[in-house]
Structure 1
Amino acid sequence: MGVKLEVFRMALYLSFPVSMFWISNQAEYFEEYVVKRKRQLFPPERETRKEFEDQREHFRKQRDEMMDQMK
C-alpha cells in the first residue's frame, strides 16, 4: 500500500495548487468584485468632469458680470 498512498498524496499535493490557480484566474468569479472596487477607488470621470464644467461655467459668468460692470 506504500506506493499507492504515495501516488495519492502526490496527486493531492499537485491538484490543490493547480486547482487554486485555475479558480483564481477565472474572470467571471472576480469580475463583479474588481469592477466595484475599481469604481470605488477611481470614480467615473464624467461625474468629476461635470463638476469641473459647472465650476468653469460659474467662473465664466462671474467674469462676464465683472466685464459688464467695467463698461
Structure 2
Amino acid sequence: MPNKFYQDDDEYMEKLSLLMTNEYKAITHAKIQLQLDCPDLALARHMSYKSLSDEDFLKRAEKQIEYLNNCIS
C-alpha cells in the first residue's frame, strides 16, 4: 500500500496490526462476536500486486494473514 507515511507494506501492516489488536480485544472482551472477512486480499492480486508472480503474491498473502492472525491471537 504505497503512501508517504510508511516505507513499505510490511511497516504499514505491522503498525496496523498493533493498533487493531487493541480494537479486536475490546470487541471480544465485550462478548461481541468478531468476524473478519478479507475480500480485499484476492482483489489485491489484480489491483495492487499485479506485477508480482503468483508465487510472490501468495507469499505476500500469507504474510498478511500472519499479521491478521497475530492481531487475534
Task: State the TM bucket, normalised to the shorter chain.
Answer: 0.3 to 0.5
Higher relative contact order (CA 8 A, sep 6+): 2
Q: Higher helix share goes to which structure? A: 1
- TM-score normalized by structure 1? 0.32
- TM-score normalized by structure 2? 0.32
